[in-house]
Structure 1
Amino acid sequence: MPSYSIGQAAGLLGVSSETVRRWADGGQLRMERDGTGNRVIDGVSLAGFAKDRAVGLHPVPGEVSTSVRNSFAGIVTGVVLDDVVAQVEVQSGPHRLVSLVTREAVEELGIEVGVTVTARVKSTNVHVDRP
């Protein structure tokens, strides 16, 4: 089973190392010592903590019915308009998403830099890489 250092866990959770230490010291995140005495978090515990922490972070508004389960609330950081197409860049925590949509949609929705949006992703092709 993989284990992660405090810094690695912080990077995966999108928080500071100090925040991970506080969660561990407060009993919210289980941490152990490895053979050299360093504090580590086992991968299963970290995955469960990340999943629990994400509950409710990207809720679907009550007036919206959707089958899309992958949603990222964020802020628009860039919009490039063409005659027909627009490129919209969204920063959602540590995640940068880029979407190509119609110019008409951008104008109708009032999408511009600084506006909060929710990017929803539904795809039959999702690639998972492992370092």
Structure 2
Amino acid sequence: MSSYSIGQAARVLGVSPETVRRWADGGHIRMDRHGPGNRVIDGVSLAAFAKERAAGVPTGPDAVATSLRNAFSGIVTGVTLDDVAAQVEIQAGPHRIVSVVTREAVEELGLAVGVTVTARVKSTDVHIDKP
């Protein structure tokens, strides 16, 4: 059976090692000791936790209901405007996402460097939602 260190689990889940420690201390992820004090998470438990976390449906007044499941929350790092089209660059954790959308969409959403967005990917299309 595979096991993961706190750092490895953090990379898999896209969070900081401190977040993984808090989740473990709060009883959300089962962690065991391996050797003289090293904390590890078994692969089956980590997979189950990742699946439960991904199944979460957004709630609240600003939540967006969508059928798209590949969502990457991030920050806009670049916007290049043309007469009709625009290129939007997003940094979502370790992922750089580039989308070409209409200039009108960029203006309507108020997209600019530093704005928090969610890129939703379906097939070869990227949809950008602003919370």
- Shared fold by TM > 0.5? yes
Larger displacement relative to structure 2 (18-27 or 4-13): 18-27
Distance 1:89 1:58 in 2: 26
Q: Secondary structure at the match of 2:21?
A: helix
SS at 1:120's partner residue? strand
Alignment gaps of 5+ in structure 1? 125-131
Q: Which amino acid aligns with 2:51?
A: K
SS of residue in 1 equivalent to 2:23: helix
Contact 1:85 1:102 in 2 (8 A): yes
Aligned equivalent of 1:23: 23
What letter corresponds to residue 43 of structure 2 in structure 1? G
Partner of 1:45: 45
Q: How many residues align?
A: 123
Instruction: Report the CA distance shift for 1:50/1:66 in structure 2 as closer, same or farther (over 3 A).
Output: closer
Residue 92 of structure 1 corresponds to 92
Q: Which amino acid aligns with 1:52?
A: E
Task: Say if 2:33 and 2:39, in contact at 8 Å, map to a contact too.
Answer: yes
Farther-moved stretch of structure 1 (50-59 vs 115-124):
50-59
Question: For residue 46 of structure 1, what is the amino acid of its counterpart?
Answer: L
Q: Corresponding residue for 1:114? A: 114
Contact kept in structure 2, 1:58 and 1:71, CA below 8 Å: no
Q: Which amino acid aligns with 1:11?
A: R
2:81 is aligned to 81
What amino acid is the match of 2:47? A
Identity %: 74
Q: Is the 8 A contact 1:84 1:103 kept in 2?
A: yes
Task: Give a deviation string over 1:78-124, Cα, whole Å, max 9, x none.
Answer: 11123333210123344332111122322333222233333211107
Shift of 1:72: 2.6
Q: Pick the structure with more strand per residue.
A: 2
1:31-69 Cα offsets, whole Å, 9 max, x none, are 1233x343211112112222323414588x66x664322
